[in-house]
Amino acid sequence: MNNKEIARSFNLLAKLMELHSENPYKIRSYQNASSLLSKLGTPLAAMSPEEIQSLKGVGSAISGKIKELLQTGKMNTLERYKEKTPLGIQQLVMIKGLGAKKIMTAWKDLGVETAGELLYACEENRLIDLKGFGQKTQEEVRKQLQFFLANQSRFLYPAAEKVATQLAGILKKSLPESRIEFTGALRRREAIIDRLELIVSSRGSLDKILADQPKWSVQSAGEGKWTGIFPPSYSFEMIESTEESFEIDWFLTTGPDHLADKISNQSALKTEAECFDFLNVPGMPPEARDLLTLEKAPVEALVSGEDIKGILHVHSTYSDGVDTLEALATHVKNQGYYYLGLTDHSQIAVYANGVSPDRLTQQWNEIDRLNERMTGFTILKGIECDILSDGSLDYEDDVRALFDFVIASVHTNIKMDENKATSRIIKAIEHPHTNILGHPTGRLLLARDGYPLDMERVIDACAANQVAIELNASPYRLDIDWTWIRKATAKGVAIAVNPDAHAKEAISDIRYGLWAARKGWLTSEQCVNTWSVDQFLRFCQK
């Protein structure tokens, strides 16, 4: 079991205990353990029992349960709660925004045991008269459920990539000579993947090999294609090709469709390069092909990982990160970057251990010491400053003025209508201290829509106030959506591709952001992180 799986077990335990009205103190301790373990950089499996027990918030009881999970893959206490809770209810407690009390009422009073049943009960208005519900709550529950049900067999890119790699590995064992590649949305690095598409050069043997996988529930989809489900719920499509036609089949199945359609009858074309020539467009990497139309000339120099000079938006132990400032700086420097823009949470973010002015002084002293010692590398004194409900920024003016740069982000009070939410964000953009607008919509992919924003107005405000827009590179966010990038850069707004890392390993999440940025044809010079530290600091001094 890895750390994430262990963290999920504690989270489920807390949720089920809440459902069964257990001791709130215990529930809180499991919740805390879950959030701690999910962010822990070191695998628990590699730690000694003493090390585990000495983690903040992990006492002997919790460390015993971790040990049990590591050794047996199960936790007795959790199993007991699972036994007395129907599977559908276990899923319902994990849906954000429903709440244990409401689920219990729906279960006990209406006999509802699955998400589908609960949605149907909403359609029939059966929730309105229940204790603790009402018209408005029912509407909210309905929305959450629709979202959940629509996304059950959809996956974020990292999860899809992992499973597709596993599938390719299994096929490779039977087909050691074959070429097996990702194609379709997976090859185009879509943020959300519905179906894992693989292309295999196997000369007619794929059918038999797939038939030998009893758990994959394979069905023929005709013309050298098979679909199926890899347990528990990953849809896949296997496409059979030959060595001779592999490249052209790969190009066609990669898509997007509007590109593939143009050459589907051109049997003389053999390679991707020939296809691009035929279409009279420059060759583009798969992730950047969505925007490719035959009229518009694409940009030449898409931003790439090699262009990145500095990493911005990183959290340390001063707020809710798990690594120390020094460990983060050393890691970022060792990765070959020239600067690190540290941005812990601002003081009002109590839930994220936001940094008080006192501790800021301590942090800045430490940064000064490290900067003296580290050659060819600079740590910048940044902050992820909360945008308050009225659009003003956290901290007093005199404190805020001391930062090298400010990322302004919304974290609380996210249920606003479009007008209010847009005015709030624009007020923050107009603040003289704001340099980057953090995760502009607050969306969490597959879990939560962003707040509604008039993005055109937001972009205009950024252009007028020399504020860059963040493309938050966390695969859970990828916010701003890449479809806005061209609109922003056309107005002269720079984009900052930021990992929003809470541990040093997550610095490499920047790659997801770069793929998304390339989808939107971001060039190197339009990307803040490709600038030298001096250039960035000049940008921040408005």
Contact positions toward Zn ion, by CB under 5 A?
384, 409, 500
Say how far apart CA 439 and CA 478 lie, in whole Å: 8
- Displacement of CA 465 from its chain's centroid (Å): 28
Minimum Å gap between C-beta 492 and Zn ion is 25
Residue whose CB is less far from Zn ion, 144 or 319 = 319
Residue whose CB is less far from Zn ion, 378 or 409 = 409
The first and second tokens of residue 141, run together, are 């529950």
Q: List residues bridging with 197 in a β-sheet.
A: 183, 237
Q: How far apart are the first and last CA of the chain?
A: 50
Minimum Å gap between C-beta 365 and Zn ion is 23
Minimum Å gap between C-beta 438 and Zn ion is 5
Paired sense of beta strands 310-314 and 234-241, if any: unpaired
- Displacement of CA 261 from its chain's centroid (Å): 31
Packing angle, helices 24-39 and 3-19, rounded to 10: 160
Minimum Å gap between C-beta 243 and Zn ion is 47
Minimum Å gap between C-beta 315 and Zn ion is 6
The answer to whether 471 and 496 are in contact (CB under 8 A) is: yes
Say how far apart CA 204 and CA 162 lie, in whole Å: 27
User: Which amino acid appears at position 309 of this protein?
Assistant: K
Minimum Å gap between C-beta 313 and Zn ion is 6
Minimum Å gap between C-beta 240 and Zn ion is 45
Minimum Å gap between C-beta 133 and Zn ion is 32
Minimum Å gap between C-beta 411 and Zn ion is 6
Say how far apart CA 107 and CA 384 lie, in whole Å: 41
Say how far apart CA 108 and CA 130 lie, in whole Å: 11
The answer to whether 26 and 13 are in contact (CB under 8 A) is: no
Q: List residues bridging with 344 in a β-sheet.
A: 383
Q: List residues bridging with 498 in a β-sheet.
A: 472
Minimum Å gap between C-beta 406 and Zn ion is 13
**Which residues in 438-489 belong to E strands, given as ranges?**
468-472
Say how far apart CA 185 and CA 233 lie, in whole Å: 17
Give the residue among 469, 449, 443 at the shortest CA–CA distance from 457: 469
| Cβ-based burial of 234 (10 A; exposed 0-12, middle 13-18, buried ≥19) | buried
Minimum Å gap between C-beta 249 and Zn ion is 42
Residue whose CB is less far from Zn ion, 404 or 500 = 500
Residue whose CB is less far from Zn ion, 197 or 500 = 500
Minimum Å gap between C-beta 496 and Zn ion is 12
Residue whose CB is less far from Zn ion, 249 or 500 = 500
Residue identified by tokens 């809770």 is: 85
Contacts of 254 (CB under 8 A, 6+ apart): 183, 184, 187, 188, 260, 286, 289
Q: How many C-beta neighbours within 10 Å does residue 60 have?
A: 10
Among the residues of 289-442, which ranges form H helices? 325-334, 357-373, 397-400, 418-430
Minimum Å gap between C-beta 514 and Zn ion is 18
Residue whose CB is less far from Zn ion, 39 or 289 = 39
Q: How many C-beta neighbours within 10 Å does residue 116 have?
A: 13
Q: How many C-beta neighbours within 10 Å does residue 206 have?
A: 23
Q: How many C-beta neighbours within 10 Å does residue 244 have?
A: 10
Minimum Å gap between C-beta 508 and Zn ion is 16
State whether residue 483 is helix, strand or coil: helix
3-state secondary structure 504-532: HHHHHHHHHHHHHHHHCCCECCCEHHHCC
Buried b (16+ CB within 10 A) or exposed e, 218-227: beeeeebebb
Residue whose CB is less far from Zn ion, 239 or 497 = 497
Residue 45: φ, ψ to 5°: -60, -25
